[in-house]
Amino acid sequence: MSIEPWAFYAWACWIIPVIGALSTPLLNRISERVRDLGAVIFSLLAMLMTLGLLPLLFSDVEWPLRSQVSWVLLPGAPILSEIRAGMLLDPLSIIMANVVSVVSFLIMVYSAGYMRGDPGLTRYWFFMNFFIANMLLLVLADNLVLMLIGWEGVGLCSYALIGYWYRDSKEGWLHYWVGEPPEAYPPSHCGMKAFIVTRFGDLFMIAGVLMLAATVKTISFPELLHADATAPMEMRWLLPVSLVMILGGAVGKSAQLPLMEWLPDAMAGPSSVSALIHAATMVKAGVYLVARLFPIALNWSASMPAATSFFYAVMWIGALTAFIAASQAVASTELKKVLAYSTVSQIGYMMMALGAAGLSAEILTGYVASIFHLMNHAVFKAALFLAAGSIIHAAGSRFLRDMGGLRKYMPVTFYSTLLATFALIGLPPFGGFWSKDLVLSATLSSGQYAVFILGLVTAILTAFYSIRMIGLAFCGGEESRKAHEAPRIMWIPYLILAALSLIIGLVAPLLESGLETALSRILPVHAHPAHGASSMELLVPLASVIAIAVGAVPAYALYVRRIRNPEEIIEKHGYMKALRMLLIRRYYINAFYYRAIAYPSIRLSHAIHKAFELRIIEGINKAISIGARRFSDIVRRVHTGLLNHYVIGLILGALILIILILAGGA
Amino acid sequence: MIDSGHLLLQSVVAPLIASPIVMVLGRRLGRRVGWIALIPLAYSLSCLLAAGYLVHVFSSPLQATYPWAQLLGDIILFFDGLSGAVALTIAAVGILACIYSITYMDLRDGWGGYFSLYLLFNTGMLGTVLSVNLAIFFLFLELMLVSSWLLIAVWGEEDRWRAALKYFLYTEVGALAILAGIGLTYSNTGTLNILELPSRAAGLSQAILSLIASLMILGLLVKMAIFPLHSWLPDAYVQSPAPVTAIFSAGTGIGGYAALRVIYTAFPQIMGQRDFMLALLILALVTMIYGGYLALAQNRLKRLLAYSSISQMGYMLLGIASASAIGVAGAMLIYVAHSLSKAALFMISGMLSRAIGTDNLDELGGLAGRMRATSIALMIGFLSLMGYPPLLGFWGELFIFAGSIYTALHSSIDMPRLALTIIAIIFSLITAGYGLWAVRRSLFGEESEAVRRAGAEPRLMLCPIIASAILLVILGVYPTMLTSFLEALAALFPS
């Protein structure tokens, strides 16, 4: 059997890290060094495999390429009778897989330094490699069920790695707890929270997938493209409903409203985990899913206007999340939590762009914007998180208030962070500038002005919280500390990533048009984006640069130059204090979930146990047994001990039996 | 007809024959008699595996007929994709729990009695599953009931007598309902052979059919511990010795298996009765949620697992109520997955009770650092219950939900069914809730005082635990091993 090289690469790139994960405990038997080295090498191999897919982008193959094997058989079943394991290669999956594997490899290298000496490293490497495998499986899966398996797999790894320091010890308070009282949580709590919240979204996704399977009888992405025609007329309306339900999974995984509350608390995990799972890759899975369903929803909306509801939902969820999360980042007191809110907010941008693209005549702009932003964000946010790991280690605390003045102690970290922050803000010519520009123009060209304004306000907030973060961490602080630069094995990865965010920016126009040509081939429209009026083209970058200035200048004055103490300003105004409280308490959404759902569920369970199970059900049991005893007391009187009474009873019983049998036989 | 060389008969009879021998040898060998008891169980398993191989090769079910009473028909043992999977699960769990018993059961004497009853219990279960003659089915059901009742009553925990009596009375009432159904079936169709019933029962009036089905299903719902008939289960499970509880969870699911046979093999007309199936679906939904919520309220791992079993039986019933081939496959997979994961989990709870002195979650904590293998098995067991890939429970849940949704959208949109199924899917979050919370309370956090004093995991108890966890993974990665034999069953369904 001959196998195409691309098929080999596609299968190998996720099977290799599975082998890597499974071999970790075995390599540990040899020595710890071998184990660490082995884990990194497996992720390197995975990266090489995905890089092997890149040349396909420049060839003129007929997309999509598929390689399938039969897997789960349910002979005779009307739906899902055969679930195949299949790899689906198209420009989207190839680009995504490469983003994942390259960033993963760099983070694995960083981990070798960052996690050195930790007693649970076997577990760490196992779940890291297992994560990479599941993430690539999710990306390359060619049907919804297989994707769901990768999807849940990454969720499991996320759970295990957030709660990595499962001891929850109080000594770790400054390092790996999250939040401040009353919303401070230990790692194992955060892992559980992440699991349950994302699982809630996933269950909607499962329901949606099954509804699709039942109505259109297929779960594979290429076949879904034109599957709307196969659905019976009176069930057509279920298709958009299923799409929106599947969106539930994306909302959970990508930490969008209303399921965003798990991600800020996921920062309890090691910084490398936050970089890999909670910034660069897994949380993008939702965006990827929407991008994957995008052509399908677009096709369906041609015959079914209701299918556009999918795009509206995506766009508004994204826009609101972008704004709300960015505002929370402004007040956050923890370094990694600033980055977490920022991640949520930036993913909101990506969602917003995808939604707007579906509602616009210029589909490609928004679609490319989203994927381009995803790439950029993966690079600069990974750099920021990795650097944050060094910073927290150097400062000995996760709180911004314990940092300050680190600039002179860790110059490489400082400049890396600075570069990546510029990309995050969207300063020209960094990568973030170009993709954010595209995102904003996509909303504008789809005529969604309210969304555009929200995006712009978010840009202001982004500039503000980013500069605030830099200022609080690196500037001021006259007191001398013992902080020192991170070891080379740690700073090289984030320096590379930070430099990459600049390089991407420098070649952005090229990359952009490359993405356009590549992605246009999987969208139902092949028209080149008609570049609109030039006034529009200039308006968006201008607006976004102004937005940066509006946000950055006050932050620079307050937190870098420190011309006035921001605390004093806040203390002076009552409304500022109230606002800060509102932002720190996350608009009380988190508190609402605990008070309205989590705690009441547990209370309810106890109430049911006490009031219903023990009182009513057991009460009935007791009543019956007491009744039975009373009855037996009565019956006992029949037991007269006289033989003839018994004989009469026997005959009567036999008669009844005979009558019954005769009646039955008749 | 394939010559099966009496494989099925041997698998059922082997433990039965060995039972008195073990009883006698128990005096002399003490604890070691458990190894003797293992021989017939292993023999049963190999017979069943061989039978499975034959079914695979000839792709047709095995059937073995032995003449018995003129009036009640022949003894017929039947091995197809459904009964085969269930019987194999029972045999596998039977072996694992038997090995576990050897170290777990701390008896001064009575080893012979324990293991001989244990073997009878296994015979009862296997016989119930493989028989297609309703009278024989009933006899094996009673054997299973009596032997398990004695196991609880004699070797159980402190409150064993009350729990055992409650269990006995409940299931006996259920058994009487089943008996009434069987009697009515016989008097109306003249046969007790399930495989003949579809043709014989075709002419039955709707009223009689409903009565028969309701009686039988009612009885089986008691056996499955479906709300509100569940209250025997928590006590019986908690009071049983851990290995008995482990095998018990496979036994409880037999009610579900029998319900599948009653609805889909014996009286397929019932499938078409929408209201009846919908009523079952509602019961399933209530049981899922009720069991889940009560599991959330428990502190003791064993009791938590008991309520979780109620909830899982709700899942199985959901598959039974799905009226579709996918749902039936799902119910079967849930059975296997639940039996294996509960076997692992109950054995873990028993091991914790012994090694640490308690399985109260409030007194545990930080086990992950001390008992690594146990922790991984505990995690796998709960993840499978949650329906998490790549474990077997995932496929079970996926297929029961798929089956129900398929039926809801089959010819026209059945709104109540669709809505109830979606509610069931969303509420399966409760499983993740109680599962992860139990995991967190036992494995994570600082080591508690009790855990710090704990000894090592006894290896002989650990092995069966790990074996069940590994089975969950292997079957989950390649469930086709179980699902590909269901073709004959699927033919029953209108496409």
Preferred mutation among B169, B212, B293 to probe A, highest tally of A CBs within 10 A: B293
| ipTM of model | 0.95
Angstroms from B421 CA to nearest CA on chain A: 9
pLDDT at residue B435, rounded to an integer: 95
The rounded mean pLDDT for chain A is: 90
With CA atoms as reference, the chain B residue closest to A81 would be B326
pLDDT over threshold 70, residue A526: no
**Which chain B residues are within 8 Å of A166, Cβ to Cβ?**
368, 443-445
Q: Which residue has the tokens 């070649």?
A: A507
Please give the backbone phi and psi of residue B491, each rounded to the nearest 5 degrees, phi first: -65, -20
How far is A159 from chain B, CA to nearest CA, in Å?
10
Scan residues 268-297 of B and list those with Cβ closer than 8 Å to A: 290, 293-297
Tell me how many residue pairs between chain A and chain B have CB atoms under 8 A apart: 166
A233 touches chain B (CB under 8 A): no
Task: Answer whether B484 touches A (CB < 8 Å).
Answer: yes
Partners of B226 on chain A (C-beta within 8 Å) are none
What are the angstrom distances between the C-alpha of B456 and each of A465, A491, B369, B413, B461? 52, 42, 12, 57, 11
pLDDT at residue A191 above 50? yes
Question: What number of H helices and E strands is found in chain B?
Answer: 21, 2
- Displacement of CA A536 from its chain's centroid (Å): 33
> What percent of chain A stands above pLDDT 90?
65
pLDDT of residue A533: 47
Q: What does the pLDDT average to over A70-86?
A: 89
Rg of chain A's alpha carbons, rounded to an integer?
Answer: 30
Q: Is the dihedral of CA B308, B314, B316, B319 positive or negative?
A: negative
* Per-window interface: A 616-655 vs B, CB < 8 A: 617-618, 621
B429 and A200 within 8 Å at the Cβ level: the answer is yes
Q: How far is CA B421 from CA B207, B391, B403, in A?
A: 28, 22, 10
Residue B49 confidence (pLDDT) above 90: yes
Question: What's the pLDDT score for residue B3?
Answer: 65
The verdict on residue B89 lying in a domain is: no
- Measured CA to CA in angstroms, residue A264 lies from A191, A251, A288, A333, A585 at distances of 11, 15, 21, 12, 12
Residues of chain B with Cβ-Cβ distance to A145 below 8 Å are 398
Structure tokens that stand for B241 in this block: 């010795």
Portion of chain B with pLDDT greater than 90, in percent: 67
Closest CA in chain B for residue A621:
B231
At A101, the pLDDT band (50, 70, 90 cuts) reads: very high
Among A75, A188, A613, whose Cβ lies nearest the Cβ of B484? Answer: A75
> What pLDDT score does A133 carry?
96
**Alpha-carbon gap: A203 to the closest alpha carbon of chain B (Å):** 6
On the question of pLDDT at A459 being above 90, the answer is yes
Per-residue tokens: A256: 């969008």
- Tens digits of per-residue pLDDT, A202-257? 999 999 999 999 999 899 999 998 888 888 888 888 999 999 999 999 999 999 98
Q: Is B456 on the interface with A (CB under 8 A)?
A: no
Nearest CA in chain B to A619: B231
Nearest Cβ partner for A80 among B188, B326, B493: B326
Distance CA A337, CA A266 (A): 9
**Residues of A with Cβ-Cβ distance to B406 under 8 angstroms:** 78-79, 210, 213-214
Phi and psi (nearest 5°) for B447? -65, 130
Q: What is the pTM of this model?
A: 0.93
Which has the higher per-residue pLDDT, A3 or B380?
B380
Domain ranges of chain A: 5-68+79-167+176-584, 592-665
B131's torsion region: left (phi>0), alpha (psi -120 to 50) or beta?
beta
* pLDDT value for A467: 95
Q: Give per-residue burial for A518-544: e unless 16+ CB within 10 Å, then b.
A: bbbbbbeeeeebeeeeeeeeeebbebb
CA–CA separation, B472 vs B350, rounded Å? 20
The three-state secondary structure class of A661 is helix
Q: Which of A206, A210, A609 sits opposite B294 (nearest CB)?
A: A609
Tens-digit pLDDT profile for residues B406-430: 999 988 899 999 999 999 999 999 9
The stretch B172-194 carries a mean pLDDT of: 91
Domain carrying residue B493: 273-495
User: Phi and psi at residue A85, in whole multiples of 5°?
Assistant: -90, 120
Q: Could you say which of B293, B425, B443 has the minimum Cβ distance to residue A207?
A: B425
Quick one: pLDDT at residue B4?
Answer: 74
Per-residue pLDDT of A578-624, as tens digits, reads 999 999 999 999 999 999 999 999 999 999 999 888 888 888 888 88
**pLDDT tens, position by position, A392-430:** 998 888 998 888 888 888 999 999 999 999 999 999 889
Please report residues of B whose CB lies closer than 8 A to that of A666: none
Check B293 against A152: CB less than 8 A apart: no
Residue of B nearest to A83 (CA): B480
B180 touches chain A (CB under 8 A): no
Give CA–CA dist A276/A283, Å, rounded.
9
Chain B residues with beta carbon closer than 8 angstroms to that of A608 = 290, 293-294, 297
Q: Which of B168, B226, B324, B398 to mutate to test the interface with A (most CBs of A within 10 A)?
A: B398
Contact B291, B311 (CB under 8 A): yes
Separation in Å, CA of A149 to nearest CA in chain B? 6
Question: For residue B35, what are its two tokens?
Answer: 């190894």
Residues in A 122-181 with any Cβ partner in B closer than 8 A: 145, 148-149, 152-153, 156, 159, 163, 166-169
| Band (B315; pLDDT cuts 50, 70, 90) | very high
Q: What is the pLDDT of residue B144?
A: 94
Chain A positions in Cβ-Cβ contact with residue B215 (cut-off 8 Å): none
CA B375, CA B358: separation in Å to the nearest integer? 16
What pLDDT, on a 0 to 100 scale, did the predictor assign at position A495?
A: 94
C-alpha closest to that of A204 among B422, B322, B420, B288: B422
Structural domains in chain B (count) = 1
Tell if the CB–CB gap between A149 and B484 is shorter than 8 Å. Answer: no
Distances (CA, A) of A375 to A101, A315, A508, B14, B347: 12, 19, 12, 64, 48
Q: Give the C-alpha distances (Å, rounded to integers) separating A342 from A213, A336, A528, B189, B479.
A: 36, 10, 32, 71, 41
Q: What confidence tier does A662 reach under pLDDT thresholds 50, 70, 90? A: low
Residue B462 lies in a domain: yes
pLDDT, one tens digit per residue, over B427-437 is: 999 999 999 99
pLDDT score of A654 more than 80: no
Beta carbons of B438 and B307 less than 8 angstroms apart:
no
- Cα distance between residue A474 and residue A561, in whole Å: 12
Residue of B nearest to A628 (CA): B169
Residue A666: the pLDDT is: 43
Q: Is A608 close to B293, i.e. CB distance below 8 A?
A: yes
Nearest chain A Cα distance for residue B432, angstroms: 7
Cβ <8 Å between B398 and A604 = no
Q: Do the chains contact at B294 and A608, CB–CB below 8 Å?
A: yes
Q: Is residue B243 part of a domain?
A: no
User: B92: pLDDT confidence band, cut at 50, 70 and 90?
Assistant: very high
CB pair distance less than 8 Å for B483 and A74 = yes
| A214: closest CA of chain B, how far (Å) | 5
| Distance in Å, alpha carbon of B69 to nearest chain A alpha carbon | 19
Tokens 């089986």 sit on residue = B220
**What torsion do the CA atoms of B344, B347, B348, B354 make, to the nearest 10 degrees?**
-170
Q: Which single residue is written with the structure tokens 């994306």?
A: A250
Contact list, B402 vs chain A (CB under 8 Å): 79-80, 210, 213-214
- Model confidence at A639: pLDDT above 90: no
Residue B108 has pLDDT above 80, yes or no: no
* Region of poorest pLDDT, from A639-653, B262-276, B351-365: A639-653
Choose, out of B182, B439, B481, B485, the residue to mutate when testing the contact with A (most A CBs < 10 Å): B439
For A510-562, give the DSSP string: HHHHHHHHHHHTTSS--PPP----HHHHHHHHHHHHHHHHHHHHHHIIIIIS-
